[in-house]
Each structure stands twice: as C-alpha cells, then as structure tokens.
C-alpha cells in the first residue's frame, strides 16, 4: 500500500539532507535514484533499469561512431531520467533524454523526463507540456508532482481525450483477432472485460506498482504468444484467490497481484490459444494511459466491438452512446442541482452537512436500459464529487477526525441497472468499479491517505434481461429506489422487430392506438406502473407515522427520448394514458441534437423529459433556439406533453 503523503514528506526531507553536497555523477547517480524511489516507498528495481542501451537519433548516432547510447534510468512507458554532475547544464541533459526517443518502440515512450545534477531536480510532463524545477532541499514541497511514482496521481479525465478512441479501437482489434481464432461469444466477452479491468488497474495503482500488468506480459509470457492464454488464466485465478490461500511457492510476479473479488475473476474460462500478434496487440493496449480514460469510453468500446455486426443490428438495439455533456443535461435537473443547492445552504453548518452526507449515501438509482452504464457511471461520479466537497467542508470546520476509510460512504451498491445484452451489462458493472477507484484516487491525493477499495466487497446490481418483461421490483423494490433515469432504445414503429412489438403489446395491453408509438415509450409506462404499484404496504396496513414516503410521492424519473413522442399522433396515445395515471412533468429539454462518443454514430434529435407521480411548483423548460447550441432556461408553472 502506498505511503501517506506525510510519510513521503518526512522521507523527502531525510533524502535531501542525505544528498546535500553530492557532486559526482558516475560515482553516486545510481544510489541517488535508488534512494529517490525509496522516498515514495517504491523499489526502483521493480520499475526501472539503469544504463538501458538504445539507438540514438541519427545525428548523434553518427557522431558517436554508430555506438548508440545508454539511458541513465528507464521506466518503460513512463519515465526517463538523465543525471549529470553538480553544476552541469540541465537543458543539455533534457536534449540528451529526448535524443533517445527515436530508438524506443512507440509503446515504450515515456510521459515524464527528469533531469538532475544532485542540487536541482527538473521534471517534464510531456503530455501536459509543463516543467517544474526546484532545489533538492525543496523536494518535500513538490512530492505531489511525483504522484505517478507514489500511487497518488490523479488524471485529468476528458471525454474528448484522443486516448478514449485509441483505447476503444485497440481493444476492438484484440477482440477481432481473438474472435477470428474461434474464441467467441460469452467467453470472449468475459475475457475482454477482465483485460479491461487489468489495463485500468495497472495505471491507477489498483495493481502495485504501476505497470505490473505490462511487466507480467513482458516477463512472464513468450514473445511468440504461445503461452499467453495459460498465463492469463493463471493470473485470473490468482486475482480470484485471497492472499492467505495462495500457494506459498507462487512466482513473486504473480504473488504481487492483489485479491480482487467482486466475482469478476470467479468464472473459469476456456484457455485461449494466442499468437504473437495477440500478445503485441495487448501490449499496445498497455502503452495507453488507462488512468486518463473517461467513463464514456465504455460505450465507445462496446460500439467499436459491435461494429462487425453491422449497422442494422445497432439500429435495432437502439445503441446510442452519449457524451457526458448530454448525460449531465438529464442528471442535473433530475437530482444533482438540488443536492448542490442543499450543500451550499449547509456549507457553514456541520450538522446539516452530516445530514446531507447521510442522505446522499442512501440514495438509490435505477437505469432500466443501462447499456454500458454511462448514465450510472456519471451519476456516481457526480455524487462522489459532491461527497468530496462535503468532506472538505466538514474537515475544514474541525468537526471531524480524518479517517478516510470511515468517512467515504457513497458506494457503487447504490446503483442498479437492467441491460438486455450480457457484454454491456458486464462493462457497466466494471465501469462503476473503475470510476469508484478514480474517485478514491482523488480523495487520496486531497487528504493524504491512500484509499483503495480492494477486495471488491460492494458491487452494483446490473441485471441482464429484457427490461420490458422483467419485474423491476426483483432488481430493486420501488420502495427503495429514488431516481429512475436513462436512455432507452430509439426504435420507431416502422423499425421494430416482432419481439419488440410483442414487448410493446405486453406493456401497453389494451391502450388504444399503441401501435403508433416508438419503442422508448414502453419505458415511460413501465416506470409509472412500477412506481405506482398496487398501493403496496400502505394499502394493506394504512399509513404508519414513521413510514417513508411511498414511491409515488418520492421517486423521480427522467428519460432521453426521440422528439417524436412529443409530436403528432403519439402525444394523444402516450400522454393521455400517462396523465390518466397521474404523471406530472417536472422539467424538459426541448428538441436538441443528441451526439455520442463513438465514431460513425449519427446524431439524432431528442428531448429529455423529467416526470413523477407527484407535483412540484417550480418547473423548468430548456429551450434550444439552435438545436446544436446551448439552451435557454425557462421557469414555468406547467409543462404539457408538447413541452410548452
């Protein structure tokens, strides 16, 4: 487990005192770097090598008589360090480090370069194009710059980061190669989800040290890939076994991996027969920084993998993988804006902050068409960000002792989903775990205590099945759910398959004219019947004094839909039935252009409708003068089915 930031600061001060006055590169540099890594509680030998031979850029190669060069310290894919004697030119040392890049494989190129002459340390971050220089004595002030060594690095997660598309495409290529070999179906899907977890885990210190999975691939499998399948199977078995139940003679590279649990690695899969290309593709995946992946990648990943099935199948499934910006258009008015308003009202009152914290740790969410979990993932992330600010405010007030393991209460088991296909259902569950760890890293960096939830004790409940035929109460009782949200499939009446028409008949029953309705409308009626219930306990026992509000007085719902459900003949059929059942529209986004993160996916014109079986006095319409632009917010007293 990584050291606390306070412990690292103490070690940094001791390191600076130990190396004050050192001068000679050749005699002392390697000991210096061994001690430097030890400041962060990391063994240099596990991560980096000294004097790595490499072919230099052509001009320097010719000047050196074709001899190439040697990197002072090399951590593949992460760091190059060049060390000079006291007083030497650090700019020259940096140019020398860059000179080695031409001789490195693309997946070995580092993100960071450190140059030092003992008295000064300069760090370059090549991704952010920044540099920081400070005297050795001030290392303790700058330890967060080296979070990538210590396990505290938090990444800037951006939906538009090109790494998202690269990750989706590389995983897609690996999928295609495995499938072409005859490894397919459920086994392939589970294998890909496990690989996805391992790739993320090694870049976010779920696996320690950083790069453990790549190190395993490079050092525990043959270059021709012939033993990749058996070695992966052994690794998955190790990840599913508690440390105290593992064989004592287990190879140390395997033994270093943690027990994961969560049933992610529980199933025994057939061992795939792999080759050199598969191994290279997996190593190419390792070269990406999976710590930078946005939750939106999981939709794009699934879409990339689905491409082979053809556009017709995608349209029938209604697969529209959405931007974070558009997801926020739904979750902010549904619940997030109100929670932040409560936070700002309670910010200076520790007691009210405690109550708000308890409240958000009890909220339950259901996405009955969750796909790869985009809505659940971003709802969870936003809830954790609110919790983060609550903890900061309470700790600042001095009303709470710092114990992160006790204080962080929001967890993935507050989230429920239904998805008709197995693969995206699996991705949704893993995506929530990975988002949880991203947020745990943010907490660790802010509060200086390393916080990791392993083994995975809590899990989201993602059920694989047809949401229009399942009893949602078997996923989560309507008595316990607070918010229903999502992006049900966009399938018009003319494109519906026979089984989808049967779904519509099951939900709408004898409702007249239901044959004109889009498929998405079935989720509206199903959600209303789910919340409304059959009077449940209150109908049997009467209203008890301390009973929580029944679902019809509490649960709020919001769906993304094609704008056709607010136009023409569909309005009379759908909304007459919903209004008869007591539906009240709380907010609505009028027609806008709904885009997504996956390449090749056309945008559609949509609406978002938030509704419930209870009324509110303040309602909001978001109007789009330009369907591609930002909305204007209108506060109104009523919203009708035409969203006026």
Alpha helices per DSSP H over 448-587: 498-508, 521-532, 536-541, 551-554, 568-580
Instruction: Bin 151: left if φ > 0, else alpha if -120 < ψ < 50, else beta.
Output: left
Same domain assignment for residues 481 and 508: yes
In a domain, 399, yes or no: yes
Cα separation, 264 vs 287, whole angstroms:
24
Contact by Cβ (8 Å): 462, 370: yes
Same domain assignment for residues 515 and 446: yes
pLDDT value, residue 24? 74
The SS3 call for residue 88 is coil
pLDDT value, residue 214? 92
pLDDT at residue 471 is higher than 70: yes
Give me the mean pLDDT over the 152-177 stretch: 73
Query: CATH no. for residue 434?
Result: 3.40.50.150
Cα separation, 164 vs 298, whole angstroms:
9
Q: DSSP character for 322?
A: B
Cα separation, 519 vs 503, whole angstroms:
9
In a domain, 307, yes or no: no
Cα separation, 139 vs 121, whole angstroms:
8
Under the banding of pLDDT at 50, 70 and 90, the label for residue 318 is: very low
Tokens for 232? 């992966």
pLDDT value, residue 208? 81
Q: Which residue, chain included where needed, has tokens 């990406």?
A: 288
pLDDT value, residue 293? 78
Q: DSSP character for 250?
A: -
Contact by Cβ (8 Å): 304, 172: yes
pLDDT at residue 21 is higher than 90: no
Q: Which residues pair with 470 in a beta bridge?
A: none
Same domain assignment for residues 129 and 77: yes
Q: What is the mean pLDDT of the chain?
A: 87
Domain boundary among 294, 327, 354: 294
Under the banding of pLDDT at 50, 70 and 90, the label for residue 57 is: low
Q: State pLDDT tens for residues 521-547.
A: 999 999 999 999 853 333 333 444 555
Cα separation, 112 vs 146, whole angstroms:
10
Q: Report the predicted TM-score, pTM, of the whole model to 2 decimal places.
A: 0.83
Cα separation, 429 vs 298, whole angstroms:
11
Tokens for 406? 């006790």
In a domain, 643, yes or no: no
pLDDT value, residue 314? 37
Of 115-124, 318-327, 328-337, 461-470, the poorest mean pLDDT is in 318-327
Contact by Cβ (8 Å): 454, 433: no
In a domain, 408, yes or no: yes
Cα separation, 84 vs 543, whole angstroms:
78
pLDDT value, residue 153? 63
Give me the mean pLDDT over the 14-38 stretch: 88
Q: State pLDDT tens for residues 206-218.
A: 888 788 899 999 9
Contact by Cβ (8 Å): 289, 155: yes
Q: State pLDDT tens for residues 603-628.
A: 688 999 999 999 999 999 999 999 98
Higher confidence at residue 601 or residue 75? 75
Domain that holds residue 87: 5-150
- Overall domain count for the chain: 3
What length is written for the chain?
644
Same domain assignment for residues 258 and 367: no
pLDDT value, residue 578? 96
Cα separation, 225 vs 279, whole angstroms:
5
pLDDT value, residue 505? 93
Same domain assignment for residues 514 and 612: yes
Q: State pLDDT tens for residues 237-256.
A: 999 999 999 999 999 889 99
Q: State pLDDT tens for residues 320-348.
A: 456 788 899 999 999 999 999 999 999 98
DSSP string, 572-611: HHHHHHHHHTT-EEEEEEEEEEE-BSSTTPPPEEEEEEEE
Contact by Cβ (8 Å): 597, 296: yes
User: What HEC string does 85-141 produce?
Assistant: CCCCCHHHHHHHHHHCHHHCCHHHCCCEEEEECCCEEEEEECCCCEEEEEEHHHHHH
Cα separation, 143 vs 148, whole angstroms:
10
Phi, psi of 279 (to 5 degrees): -65, -45
Under the banding of pLDDT at 50, 70 and 90, the label for residue 264 is: very high
Contact by Cβ (8 Å): 411, 460: no
In a domain, 507, yes or no: yes
Phi, psi of 370 (to 5 degrees): -80, -15
pLDDT value, residue 541? 38
pLDDT at residue 319 is higher than 80: no
What sign has the CA pseudo-torsion 329, 335, 340, 342?
Answer: positive
Same domain assignment for residues 337 and 419: yes
Beta strand pairing call for 79-83 and 461-464:
unpaired
Tokens for 332? 């902010």
In a domain, 591, yes or no: yes
Same domain assignment for residues 143 and 167: no
pLDDT value, residue 424? 87
Give me the mean pLDDT over the 398-409 stretch: 76
Same domain assignment for residues 274 and 331: no
Under the banding of pLDDT at 50, 70 and 90, the label for residue 31 is: very high
Q: How far is CA 426 from CA 372, 419, 462, 477, 631, in A?
A: 8, 9, 8, 22, 35
Domain boundary among 125, 150, 175: 150
pLDDT value, residue 164? 72
**Rg over CA atoms, the chain:** 28
Same domain assignment for residues 114 and 174: no
Cα separation, 423 vs 84, whole angstroms:
52
Residues 65-99 as b or e (16 or more Cβ within 10 Å = b): eeeebebbbbbbbbbbbbbbeeebebeebbebbeb
pLDDT at residue 466 is higher than 50: yes
pLDDT at residue 315 is higher than 70: no
Q: State pLDDT tens for residues 498-524.
A: 899 899 999 998 899 998 999 999 999
Domain boundary among 150, 185, 213: 150
Q: For residue 359, give every residue at least 6 positions away whose Cβ sits within 8 Å of its Cβ, in sequence order, or none.
A: none
Same domain assignment for residues 275 and 422: no
In a domain, 479, yes or no: yes
Same domain assignment for residues 360 and 504: yes
Beta strand pairing call for 483-486 and 604-612:
unpaired
Same domain assignment for residues 37 and 132: yes
pLDDT at residue 68 is higher than 90: no
- CA torsion, points 367, 369, 375, 380, in degrees to nearest 10? 40
E-strand stretches of 323-402:
365-367
In a domain, 308, yes or no: no
- Give me the percent of the chain exceeding a pLDDT of 70: 87
Tokens for 629? 């632009």
Contact by Cβ (8 Å): 292, 155: yes
Query: CATH no. for residue 100?
Result: 3.90.1570
Give me the mean pLDDT over the 460-471 stretch: 96
Q: What is the number of helices (H) and of strands (E) in the chain?
A: 25, 15
pLDDT value, residue 540? 37
Q: Which residues pair with 79 in a beta bridge?
A: 75, 112
Cα separation, 58 vs 64, whole angstroms:
10
Q: How far is CA 95 from CA 87, 98, 100, 132, 158, in A?
A: 16, 5, 9, 16, 30
pLDDT at residue 305 is higher than 70: no
Longest dimension (CA), the chain: 93
Phi, psi of 607 (to 5 degrees): -130, 160
């Amino acid at each position: 487990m990584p050291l606390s930031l306070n412990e690292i600061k103490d070690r940094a001060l001791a390191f600076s005192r130990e190396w004050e006055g050192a001068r000679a590169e050749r005699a002392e540099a390697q000991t210096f770097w061994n001690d430097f890594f030890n400041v962060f509680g990391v063994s240099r030998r596990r991560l980096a090598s000294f004097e790595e031979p490499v072919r230099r850029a052509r001009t320097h190669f010719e000047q050196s008589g074709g001899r190439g060069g040697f990197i002072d310290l090399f951590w593949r894919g992460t760091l190059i360090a060049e060390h000079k004697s006291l007083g030497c030119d650090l700019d020259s040392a940096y140019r020398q480090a860059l000179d080695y890049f031409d001789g490195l494989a693309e997946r070995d190129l580092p993100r960071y370069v450190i140059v030092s002459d003992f008295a000064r340390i300069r760090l370059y971050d090549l991704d952010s194009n920044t540099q920081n220089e400070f005297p050795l004595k001030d290392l303790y002030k700058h330890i967060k710059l080296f979070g990538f060594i210590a396990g505290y690095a938090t990444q800037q997660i951006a939906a538009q980061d090109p790494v998202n598309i690269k990750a989706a495409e590389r995983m897609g290529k690996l999928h295609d190669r495995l499938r072409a070999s005859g490894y397919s179906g459920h086994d392939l899907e589970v294998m890909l989800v496990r690989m996805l977890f391992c790739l993320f885990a090694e870049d976010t210190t779920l696996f320690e040290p950083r790069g453990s999975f790549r190190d395993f691939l490079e050092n525990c499998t043959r270059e021709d890939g012939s033993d990749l399948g058996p070695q992966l199977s052994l690794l998955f078995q190790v990840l599913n076994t508690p440390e105290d139940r593992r064989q004592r003679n287990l190879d140390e590279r395997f033994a270093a991996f943690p027990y994961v649990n969560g049933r992610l690695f529980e199933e025994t899969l057939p061992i795939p027969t792999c080759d050199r290309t598969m191994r290279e593709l997996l190593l190419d995946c390792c070269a990406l920084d999976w710590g930078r992946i946005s939750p939106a990648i999981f939709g794009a990943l699934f879409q990339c993998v689905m491409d082979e099935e053809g556009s017709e199948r995608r349209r029938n499934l209604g697969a529209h993988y959405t931007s974070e910006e558009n997801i926020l258009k739904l979750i902010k008015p549904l619940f997030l804006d109100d929670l932040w308003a409560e936070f700002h009202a309670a910010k200076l009152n520790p007691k009210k902050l405690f109550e708000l914290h308890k409240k958000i740790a009890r909220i339950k969410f259901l996405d009955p068409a969750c796909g790869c979990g985009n809505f659940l993932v971003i709802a969870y992330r936003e809830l954790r960000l609110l919790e983060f600010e609550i903890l900061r405010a309470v700790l600042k007030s001095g009303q709470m002792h710092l114990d992160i393991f006790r204080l962080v209460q929001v967890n993935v088991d507050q989230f429920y989903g239904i998805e008709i296909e197995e693969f995206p259902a699996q991705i949704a569950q893993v995506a929530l775990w990975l988002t949880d760890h991203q947020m745990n890293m943010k907490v660790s960096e802010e509060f200086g205590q390393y916080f990791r939830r392993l083994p995975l004790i809590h899990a989201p409940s993602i059920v694989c099945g047809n949401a229009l035929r399942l009893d949602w109460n078997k996923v989560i009782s309507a008595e316990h759910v607070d918010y229903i949200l999502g992006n049900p499939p966009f399938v018009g009446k003319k494109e519906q398959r026979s089984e989808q028409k049967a779904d519509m008949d099951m939900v709408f029953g004898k409702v007249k004219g239901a044959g004109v309705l889009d498929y998405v409308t079935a989720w509206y009626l199903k959600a209303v019947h789910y919340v409304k219930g059959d009077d449940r306990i209150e109908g049997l026992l009467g209203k008890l004094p301390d009973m929580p509000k029944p679902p019809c007085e509490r649960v709020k719902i919001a769906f993304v839909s094609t704008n056709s459900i607010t136009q023409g003949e569909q309005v009379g059929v759908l909304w007459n039935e919903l209004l008869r059942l007591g539906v009240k529209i709380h907010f609505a986004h009028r027609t806008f252009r709904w885009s997504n993160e996956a390449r090749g996916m056309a945008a559609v014109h949509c609406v978002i409708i938030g509704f419930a079986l209870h009324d509110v006095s303040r309602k909001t319409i978001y109007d789009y003068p330009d369907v591609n632009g930002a909305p204007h917010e209108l506060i109104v007293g009523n919203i009708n089915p035409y969203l006026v």
